C-alpha cells in the first residue's frame, strides 16, 4: 500500500485540449434521456431516450480542402457538420436525439472553437439534440460527427423499398449549393440567401418524420440527384424516368443565361441535402399536405419503372444528356 504524503491534486489539468473541451461542453445542450453526457470515458443514454423505438446511427466526416474550402467560416462548419448528419437521419425518417463530435484541429484555437460551436448549437437547439461526447486531437482540420436518432420499429425509410409505378419526388430546389460553390471558386459575390444554400443546408427532418408513413423509399441528395437516385434505384432493383423540365429550380438557377447549365447543376450538383423519395401514387396527396404545412416545396419529377437504369427525358420525351458528372469521393 502506497502512503501519500501530500494530497493528490484532483483538479483537472488546464492544458489546451481540456480547456477546448470545457468550451465545447458549454454549448452541448441538454435533453431528457441522457444520463451522462460529456466528461467521463463515455456517455450513457437511457432506454427512455429511445421510447421503445429503433436506434438510428450515422457518421459523416468533413476534411478541409476535400469537403469544404480552406478558410471556411468556423460557424458554417459547426452548422454544416451537424446538418449533413441530420440529413442522413431525415433520409431514414428518424428523429435526432444526440451526437458526438470528433474534432481534429491544427491548433487549440479558442476563438475558432467558440464560433464553430455557435453554428452547431443553433442547429442542435432547433432539433433538441444534445452533444454527448467526442474527441479532440491535433492535426489537419477534420470534423467527424456521429448522430443518434430514433424511429418507430419497422418504419425507417430505406433505399431498397421503391416499387415500379411509384412516383419520384424531391423536396426544395436542386443545384443551388453547386452554383454557390462555383461562384465562390470564381471569387464572385453572391446573394447571401444563395450562399446559405451551400453553407447552411436545412435538413428535412420535420418533413421526413411527419410523412414517413406515406413514403416508400428515401435518400438524401448529397452527391447530386443522378448519383443518389441511382443508389436508391439500384438498392430497389428498379429503374426510373425523370423529366428534366420538372426539376425544381430556384430563381438563381432560373436566371442563368444557359438553361442547360441550370438543368445540369440540378441533376449533378452536390451538397443540396434535399430528400428524394418514392411513394405510391395514392400516397402523394398525404405527402404534399405535410410539405405544404411546412411551406416546403415538393416536386414530382418522374416515375419508378421495372426496367433498370435512369432515363433522363426532355420536355418532348427525348433522351437528355447532362454535360457535367456527379461528385465522386475518390
Ligand atoms: P478520453 O481520453 O477518455 O478519450 P477525452 O479527454 O478525450 O477522454 O474526453 C473527455 C471527455 O470529453 C469525454 O467525455 C469526451 O467524450 C469529451 N470530449 C472530448 N472531445 C470532445 C469534443 N470534440 N466534443 C464533445 N465532447 C468531447
Ligand atoms: Mg478521447
3-state secondary structure of 35: strand
Instruction: Output the nine-digit C-alpha cell for 123.
Output: 442547429
pLDDT over 70, % of the chain:
93
Per residue in 160-210, pLDDT tens? 999 999 999 999 999 999 999 999 999 999 999 999 999 999 999 999 999
Residue nearest to atom 27 of ligand 1 (CA): 134
Rounded to the nearest integer, the mean pLDDT of the chain is 94
Q: Hey, which of 14, 116, 136, 139 would you mutate to test ligand 1's pocket, going by the most ligand atoms within 8 Å of its Cβ?
A: 136
Instruction: Output the nine-digit C-alpha cell for 120.
Output: 452547431
Q: Ligand 2 center to residue 65 CA distance, Å?
A: 25
Strand partners for 311: 241
pLDDT of residue 324: 65
Per residue in 7-20, pLDDT tens? 444 444 567 767 99
Residues having CB closer than 6 A to ligand 1 are: 21, 24, 38-41, 101, 103, 131, 133-136
pLDDT of residue 323: 82
Q: Is the pLDDT of residue 2 over 90?
A: no
* Ligand with smallest separation from the Cα of 38: 1
3-state secondary structure of 218: strand
Per residue in 224-236, pLDDT tens? 999 999 999 999 9
The answer to whether 132 and 27 are in contact (CB under 8 A) is no
Query: What gap in Å lies between CA 3 and CA 113, rounded to an integer?
Result: 42
**Number of residues assigned to the chain:** 330
pLDDT of residue 230: 98
pLDDT of residue 3: 43
Amino acid at each position: 500500500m502506497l502512503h501519500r504524503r501530500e494530497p493528490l491534486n484532483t483538479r483537472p489539468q488546464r492544458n489546451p485540449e481540456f480547456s477546448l473541451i470545457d468550451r465545447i461542453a458549454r454549448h452541448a445542450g441538454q435533453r431528457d434521456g441522457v444520463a451522462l453526457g460529456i466528461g467521463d470515458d463515455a456517455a450513457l443514454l437511457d432506454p427512455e431516450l429511445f421510447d421503445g423505438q429503433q436506434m438510428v446511427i450515422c457518421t459523416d466526416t468533413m476534411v478541409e480542402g476535400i469537403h469544404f474550402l480552406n478558410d471556411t467560416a468556423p460557424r458554417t462548419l459547426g452548422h454544416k457538420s451537424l446538418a449533413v448528419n441530420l440529413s442522413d437521419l431525415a433520409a431514414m425518417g428518424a428523429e435526432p436525439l444526440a451526437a458526438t463530435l470528433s474534432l481534429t484541429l491544427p491548433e487549440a484555437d479558442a476563438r475558432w472553437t467558440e464560433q464553430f460551436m455557435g453554428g452547431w448549437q443553433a442547429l442542435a437547439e432547433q432539433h433538441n439534440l444534445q452533444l454527448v461526447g467526442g474527441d479532440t486531437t491535433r492535426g489537419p482540420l477534420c470534423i467527424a460527427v456521429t448522430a443518434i436518432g430514433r424511429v418507430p420499429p419497422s418504419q425507417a425509410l430505406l433505399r431498397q423499398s421503391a416499387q415500379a409505378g411509384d412516383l419520384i419526388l424531391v423536396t426544395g430546389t436542386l443545384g443551388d449549393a453547386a452554383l454557390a460553390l462555383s461562384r465562390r471558386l470564381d471569387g464572385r459575390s453572391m446573394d447571401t440567401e444563395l450562399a446559405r444554400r451551400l453553407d447552411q443546408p436545412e435538413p428535412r427532418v420535420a418533413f421526413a418524420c411527419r410523412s414517413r408513413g406515406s413514403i416508400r423509399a428515401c435518400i438524401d441528395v448529397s452527391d447530386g440527384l443522378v448519383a443518389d437516385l441511382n443508389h436508391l434505384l439500384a438498392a430497389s432493383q428498379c429503374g426510373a424516368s425523370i423529366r428534366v423540365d420538372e426539376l425544381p429550380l430556384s430563381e438563381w438557377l432560373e436566371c442563368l443565361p444557359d438553361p442547360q447549365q441550370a438543368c445540369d447543376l440540378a441533376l449533378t450538383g452536390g451538397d443540396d441535402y434535399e430528400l428524394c423519395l418514392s411513394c405510391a401514387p395514392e400516397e402523394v396527396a398525404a405527402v404534399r399536405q405535410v410539405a405544404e404545412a411546412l411551406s416546403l416545396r415538393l416536386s414530382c419529377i418522374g416515375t419508378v419503372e421495372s426496367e433498370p437504369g435512369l432515363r433522363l427525358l426532355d420536355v418532348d420525351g427525348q433522351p437528355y444528356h447532362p454535360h457535367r458528372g456527379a461528385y465522386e469521393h475518390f
